[in-house]
Amino acid sequence: MFCCEECPAKKGSEPLWLRESRLEECLGVICAERGVPAVGGIVVSSGGVVCEAVSGVRVRGGEVASASDKWHLGSCGKAMTATVAARLVERGVIEWSTRCGEVIGCATHESLADVTLLDVLSHTGGFAETPREVRRYVRETRDSPRAARREAARRILEKGPAYAPRSESRYSNDGYLVAGAMLEAAADCPFEALVRAEVAEPLGLDSLGFGPPPELGGHDSRGRHLRRDNPPAYSPAGCAHASLRDWAKFLHLHLRGLRGLADDYLPLAALQALHEPPVRPPRALGWIKACRPHMGGRVSQHSGTNTFFYANVWILPNRDRALLAVCNQGGPGGKRATDDVVAALISKFLQ
């Protein structure tokens, strides 16, 4: 464990172990109490990593988890998709106003004809549940992820919308699949390669990859070890994995941007716009904007799971902190464990 800058917690309602023990020990208690294999947490400030800790095992009954292990980020990876889009928009490769069918080159239902890149990334494109035939296709296809995304997007866009686009906001993985297909078509490059070129390489995320992490084993809600993931076509919606340190570099970029600290990576206004709901609150582009008084007010948040891992991320610009909590088990147990990790990080490093 690496730890520095620890802030004393306020005396209050937290249990004694949460207030007085080291973070690594806190995480060990969380693993035991929640019955999960492993958890991890990292705290970032605008100056860099404040603290990082991991506790538990890679697989039930197996080796101890390491700080360098990679964790599946689930839908927290949507922020990367939106960031890639912002980079391409800044270079004129695509526009926020680009229509889905126009760039993918496929027919669309008449009610979806005007749906844009901005709409699908902000969950206002008219999509809701994935059509059954699309679920079956992406599970069974042997096409490349890029070809599968284009075909799945075509099938999604041919269907009528679940609601009138831009009339409301409904969380949709399909919207991010369509967005990925749009970015691929505009840049003529597979989505996974775009993420490496636009995010991993410039930010130094050497561990970033897609699919099940190589070291840590995922566990379902019953605690069974299963090496599975979302279909590769859904990489834009949530198939990425990375080490805590590398994901912290991405959070560091966004934390600094929300604090008004300019960076050559993206113009400040472009980065901040990713955190503002463009159509319907609270959903922004890869983030959820919220207000949490105990976290300093305005925050950006997201959680994600592929049902075998759970990730929970918060950016607190008014407190100059970003928090990431992870668990290698999905379901309610993984959610509760990451909520506990976030509470521990707040208790130790925000009070």
Residues 6+ apart with CB under 8 A from 232: 145, 148, 210, 211, 239
In order, the DSSP letters of 228-256 are --S-GGGHHHH-EEEEHHHHHHHHHHHHH
Name which of 315, 263, 327, 259 is nearest 287 in CA terms: 315
pLDDT, residue 22, reads 82
**Unique residue bearing structure tokens 């989505």:** 191
Cα–Cα dist 23/323, whole Å: 13
pLDDT, residue 243, reads 98
Pairing of strands 70-72, 38-45: unpaired
pLDDT, residue 10, reads 39
Q: How many helices (H) and strands (E) does the chain have?
A: 14, 10
Q: What is the pLDDT along the chain (351 residues), one digit of tens a residue?
A: 323 333 333 334 555 444 445 888 999 999 999 999 999 999 999 999 999 999 999 999 999 999 999 999 999 999 999 999 999 999 999 999 999 999 999 999 999 999 999 999 999 999 988 999 999 999 999 999 999 999 999 999 999 999 999 999 999 999 999 999 999 999 999 999 999 999 999 999 999 999 999 999 999 999 999 999 999 999 999 999 999 999 999 999 999 999 999 889 999 999 999 999 998 899 999 999 999 999 999 999 999 999 999 999 999 999 999 999 999 999 999 999 999 999 999 988 886
